[in-house]
């Protein structure tokens, strides 16, 4: 099973690929299509949940 960290890293890497394809010289560009692909990558329920859990865990922590 993937950790929250794994899910977040994979989503960021996929979003970077989407942007790289959009910025590639000579590529057929569609801003609307690129935004749609980014939303598809970044607005997945499991990713949103992972981000929320990581944000919540940044609260008080026991320091040894």
Domains in the chain: boundaries: 4-56
Nearest to 11, CA basis, from 50, 60, 59: 50
Give residue-wise pLDDT tens across range 10-51.
999 999 999 999 999 988 889 999 999 999 999 999 999 999
pTM of the complete model:
0.82
pLDDT band at residue 64 using 50, 70 and 90 as cut-offs: low
Q: Examine the pLDDT at 61 and tell me if it is beyond 90.
A: no
Distance CA 13, CA 17 (A): 6
pLDDT in the model for residue 28: 85
């Amino acid at each position: 099973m993937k950790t929250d960290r794994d899910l977040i890293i994979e989503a960021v890497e996929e979003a970077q690929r989407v942007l790289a394809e959009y910025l590639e010289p000579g590529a057929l560009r569609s801003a609307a299509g690129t935004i749609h692909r980014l939303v598809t990558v970044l607005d997945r329920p499991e990713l949103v949940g992972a981000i929320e859990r990581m944000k919540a865990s940044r609260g008080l922590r026991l320091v040894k």
